[in-house]
């Protein structure tokens, strides 16, 4: 029998089934314990010192009590606290990215993904380096600066060498004012040496979704292929960090298993990374299972409502206050609008989830990994954000200035990152307005920049930002603090 140990490197011990079940039992027993709930909320509240603003966060048991709570006024307090924490550490900035699918060849049998090996009718496609170049130019022409590359697991068709060559191609392309400044990587679990090579290739964050932390369900959902190995998959982040990758991104696919179980497991994984490596996850993603090709989400009986989904997002923000939270175009405009307020700090825009989709005039559906609910253009998404008072940010400065891992977290935890991120967001937005935006978006963006300049804390930084904005108007690009 495995025992819970967050410092262990064995998956069954740092994501311990017995501990999760005890946690859920404890949460159920205390879901109406208003005194305890108030105590937990008070613990999580931001506090100020002479060194900055800080948050204690919550452990998986405390957060699970809040998730179990069904008292309406307490839930409203949770939402208000999540919003307070989001503003304290991320301000009103929303980082923008797009996924780039390189290949849908895959040898795994994941029953929730249309790329599974059993699917014989879906067209299989792998981009050549020339096709990747054309996809990147299309993304650059939209205004994107940050990509998350995706590929199925197939050692023959998608070897590591192909991924490394693709990253090199992406970074090499400069089209007009366009360039990709950060490539995040979402590929299958691999070994330490491969992670070292990814780090040397200049990746940003290594992202790997657990899908489910319920081991028995995991084995059933991944019946064949390398991904069937639960422990190898779950321990991947430790190997990535051993390989020198500072920033890693977690996530589960909500809807596959009981959401309370997944929530506890996700937080335990974050606690494990903090305990072992001194830094938690750089990002946490919250995808929900969606319809795609031969996949019917209704087959899985653990779907969650929009309200439960919003509550989960708010509680991740409260429990892991410094992590970036990502939501994709899987979700509708209405859902994205709600959870951005509650904690989400990164969203995709203008996304296509098919292999080679960006060079097509019409959105192709034959190789999509999932249905895209929010099908607006990037320009429309940015204008929507600005109309709500958010600053769309294409900033990649921390990654390129070496502010990654514990160096990023130390700045974020004190709130000092605001002195970099806020002006960087305004300058990258200005680039978009000059190079890609529609007249309507330019109007909204210029008004927002003028307003937000007044919110830069340091006068010196503010004046430099104003000078750089003028230089951007003159055609110079890529300023950063």
What is the tens place of the pLDDT at every residue in 324-371?
A: 999 988 898 999 999 999 999 999 999 998 899 999 877 666 555 656
Q: Which CATH number fits domain 90-375: 3.40.50.150, 3.20.20.70, 3.40.50.720, 3.30.9.10?
A: 3.20.20.70
Alpha-helical (H) ranges within 306-458 are 306-319, 333-342, 378-387, 397-400, 405-414, 418-435, 439-452
Kindly write down the DSSP assignment for every residue of 59-73, as one continuous string: -HHHHHHHHH---HH
Residue 94 DSSP class: E
Determine which helix (DSSP H) or strand (DSSP E) holds 49, and give its type and residue range: strand 47-49
Least confident of 175-179, 316-320, 345-349, 415-419: 415-419
Q: What confidence score (pLDDT) does residue 367 get?
A: 59
The kind and range of the H/E element at 53 are strand 52-54
447: left (phi over 0), alpha (psi -120 to 50) or beta: alpha
Task: Examine the pLDDT at 283 and tell me if it is beyond 80.
Answer: yes
Provide the whole-model pTM: 0.94
Of 346, 210, 334, 194, nearest in space to 270 by CA: 210
Mean pLDDT of 446-450: 98
Cα distances from 78 to residues 28, 39, 71, 380, in angstroms, run 18, 12, 11, 31
- Between β-strands 182-186 and 178-179, what pairing exists: parallel, antiparallel or unpaired? unpaired
Per-residue pLDDT at 419: 74
| Per-residue pLDDT reduced to its tens digit, 116-151 | 888 788 889 999 999 999 999 999 999 999 999 999
Euclidean distance between CA atoms 74 and 234, whole angstroms: 34
Domain ranges of the chain: 11-87, 90-375, 419-473
pLDDT category at 393 given cuts 50, 70, 90 is: very high
pLDDT the model gives residue 376: 92
Quick one: 104 exposed, middle or buried, by C-beta within 10 A (0-12, 13-18, 19+)?
A: buried
Pairing relation of β-strands 391-393 and 174-175? unpaired
Task: Return the ∠ at Cα 103 (arms to 281 and 379), rounded to 5°.
Answer: 70
Quick one: which of 423, 445, 393 has its CA closest to 182? 393
Whole-angstrom distance, CA of residue 64 vs CA of residue 264: 7
- 398 pLDDT exceeds 90? no
pLDDT (mean) for 432-456? 97
**Mean pLDDT score of the chain:** 92
Query: What local confidence, expressed as pLDDT, does residue 364 receive?
Result: 63
Residue-level pLDDT at 123: 87
* pLDDT bracket for residue 60 (50, 70, 90): very high
Of 47, 52, 50, 38, residue with least CA distance to 84: 47
Quote the pLDDT of residue 410. 72
What does the pLDDT look like over 63-120, one tens digit per residue?
999 999 999 999 999 999 999 999 988 999 999 999 999 999 999 999 888 888 887 8
CA distance 354 to 287: 17
Q: Spell out the residues 6+ positions from residue 46 whose beta carbon is closer than 8 angstroms to its own.
A: 53, 54, 55, 84, 85, 88, 321
The residue among 121 and 229 whose pLDDT is bigger is 229
pLDDT above 70 (res 292): no
Closest CA to 211 of 289, 318, 281, 269: 289
């Amino acid at each position: 029998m495995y025992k819970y140990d967050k410092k262990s490197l064995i998956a069954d011990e740092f994501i311990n089934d017995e501990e999760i079940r005890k946690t859920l039992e404890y949460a159920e027993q205390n879901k109406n314990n208003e005194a305890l709930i108030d105590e937990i909320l008070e613990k999580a509240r931001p506090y100020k010192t002479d060194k900055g603003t800080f948050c204690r966060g919550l452990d998986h048991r405390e957060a699970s009590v809040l998730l179990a709570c069904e008292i309406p006024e307490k839930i409203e307090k949770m939402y208000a606290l999540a919003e307070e924490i989001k503003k304290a550490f991320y301000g009103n900035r929303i980082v923008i990215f797009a996924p780039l699918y390189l290949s849908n060849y895959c040898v795994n049998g994941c029953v929730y993904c249309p790329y599974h090996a059993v699917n014989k009718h879906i067209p299989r496609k792998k981009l050549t380096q020339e096709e990747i170049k054309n996809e990147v130019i299309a993304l650059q022409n939209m205004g994107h600066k940050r990509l998350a590359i995706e590929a199925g697991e197939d050692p023959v068709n998608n070897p590591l060498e192909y991924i490394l060559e693709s990253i090199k191609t992406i970074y090499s392309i400069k089209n007009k004012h366009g360039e990709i400044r950060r490539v995040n990587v979402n590929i299958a679990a691999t070994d330490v040496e491969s992670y070292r090579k990814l780090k040397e290739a200049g990746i940003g964050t290594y992202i790997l979704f657990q899908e489910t932390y319920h081991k028995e369900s995991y084995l059933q959902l991944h019946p064949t292929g390398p991904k069937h190995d639960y422990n190898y998959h779950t321990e991947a982040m430790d190997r990535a960090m051993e390989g020198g990758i500072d920033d890693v991104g977690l996530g589960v696919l909500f809807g596959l298993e009981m959401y309370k179980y997944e929530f506890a497991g996700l937080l335990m994984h974050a606690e494990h990374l903090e305990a072992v490596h001194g830094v938690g996850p750089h990002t946490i993603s919250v995808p929900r299972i969606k319809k795609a090709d031969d996949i019917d989400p209704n087959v899985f009986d653990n779907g969650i409502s929009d309200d439960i989904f919003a509550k989960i997002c708010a509680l991740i923000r409260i429990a892991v206050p410094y992590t970036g939270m990502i939501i994709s175009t899987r979700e509708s405009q209405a859902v994205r609008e709600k959870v951005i307020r509650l904690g989400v700090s990164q969203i995709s825009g203008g996304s296509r989830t098919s292999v080679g989709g960006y060079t097509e005039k019409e959105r192709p559906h034959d190789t999509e990994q999932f249905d895209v609910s929010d099908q607006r253009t990037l320009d429309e998404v940015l204008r929507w954000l600005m109309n709500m008072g958010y600053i769309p940010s294409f900033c990649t400065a921390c990654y390129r200035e070496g502010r990654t891992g514990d160096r990023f977290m130390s700045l974020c935890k004190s709130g000092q990152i605001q002195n970099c991120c806020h002006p960087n967001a305004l300058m990258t937005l200005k680039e978009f307005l000059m190079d890609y935006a529609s007249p309507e978006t330019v109007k909204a963006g210029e008004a927002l920049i003028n307003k937000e300049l007044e919110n830069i804390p340091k006068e010196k930084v503010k004046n430099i930002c104003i000078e750089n904005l003028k230089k951007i108007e003159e055609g110079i690009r890529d300023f950063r603090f």
